[in-house]
Structure 1
Amino acid sequence: MGESDAETLFERIIAREIPAEIVHETEGTLAFRDINPQAATHVLVVPKKRYRNVAELAAADPELLAEVIGAAAKVAELEGITQSGYRVVFNTELDAGQSVFHVHAHVLGGEQLGLSFGRAG
């Protein structure tokens, strides 16, 4: 999928034009299950207003970034992974694996996650 196609994907989910399994919603965020989960629990938390990445969001609207993080914590609670542990990840740009250029937090957990970061091996 090209960047121009990907840019509107989350906006279409937020507008309910594309179906998604919604886990949690706030005034400014929407959380839904990743269609290609990388852990037993893999939920995306997306601000309803589009910013390209987390740095852009932090610079433009720190309160909305706080709402995204709060929503991620609520997702962990709803998914029952608060005590066992979870990871919140923001990928920024292509080398980090960002494929949809609408900032989103990955909430991962529900199993033992690898402890390494960066390149495997």
Structure 2
Amino acid sequence: MGGCVFCGIVAGDVPAFRVVEAPEGVAFLDTRPVFRGHVLVVPRTHLVTLADLPAGALAGYFGLVQRVAVAVESGLGAGGTFVAMNNRVSQSVAHLHTHVVPRTKGDGLRGFFWPRTRYADDAEARGYAERVAAALAGG
């Protein structure tokens, strides 16, 4: 896709610090890492959101993400990883990508990157759960 920096990286036209190239995708260092060793995993095909990833590609793509997460932890001596994906909102590059961020105890990152909230009560929580369940059921 013309103009997509991640497509350029996949094609080899844009330089990147590559971690792995596989049929399922390419992984490379984020140029603006949360912590050093922060890796982005992208599918080779230009897709914008997770919903665009064909069902048949899910196992391969997330298998690659899993392998990268294990390698980030073991290769960097991290205590764990934070694995995340944005779809449209806060997606700085409109190409599906998964962040694999190395974590260590006391690194200063508190849970998610945004403020947390609470449901007013169980009825409100139940209402949200029912709306998502209805969408899953096609209703």
On whether the aligned pair clears a TM of 0.5, the verdict is yes
Aligned to 1:23: 19
Structure showing greater Rg: 2
Match of 2:38, SS? strand
| Cα distance, 1:82–1:72 mapped onto 2, change above 3 Å | farther
TM-score with structure 1 setting the length:
0.78
Deviation at 1:83, TM superposition (A): 7.3
List gaps (5 residues or longer) in structure 2: 117-139
Report the Cα offset of residue 20 of structure 1: 0.4
Match of 2:111 in 1: 115
**Residue type of the alignment partner of 1:19:** P
Which letter does structure 1 place at the counterpart of 2:12?
R
**Matched residue type, 1:91:** N
Question: Which digits, 9 at most, give the CA deviation of each residue in 1:54-93, with x for residues without a partner?
Answer: 1222xxx123232222112211222216972212111111
Displaced runs of 4 or more, over 3 A: none
Structure 1, unpaired ranges of 5+: none
Structure 2 partner of 1:36: 32
RCO comparison, higher one (Cα < 8 Å, 6+): 1
Paired letter, 1:64: A
Which among 46, 53, 67 is matched to residue 50 of structure 1? 46
Separation in 2 of the partners of 1:52 and 1:68?
14
- Partner of residue 77, structure 1: 70
Contact 2:48 2:95 in 1 (8 A): yes
How many pairs are equivalent? Answer: 111
Query: Structure 1 residue 52: deviation in Å?
Result: 0.9
Q: Which residue of 2 aligns with 1:68?
A: 61
Q: Secondary structure at the match of 1:64?
A: helix
Query: Structure 1's 116 and 48: CA in aligned 2 closer, same or farther, altered over 3 A?
Result: closer
For normalisation by structure 2, the TM-score amounts to: 0.69
CA contact (8 A) 2:50 2:87 kept: yes
Deviation at 1:117, TM superposition (A): 5.0
CA RMSD, aligned part only?
2.4
